[in-house]
Amino acid sequence: MEKPLPKPSDEGYIEARLLEALAEARLAVEFLERGFTRDAAGMAFHAWKALLAALLKLELETLKALARSEEEKRWLESKAVPRVPTTKMKELSRLLEEAGHEGIPFVTASP
CA-atom Rg of the chain in angstroms: 15
- What's residue 6's pLDDT? 82
Give percent of the chain with pLDDT exceeding 90: 83
- Whether this model's pTM surpasses 0.85: yes
Residues with Cβ within 8 Å of residue 107, at least 6 apart in sequence: 48, 93
Which region, left, alpha or beta, applies to residue 102 given φ > 0 means left and ψ of -120 to 50 means alpha?
Answer: beta
Position 34 confidence tier, pLDDT thresholds 50, 70, 90 = very high
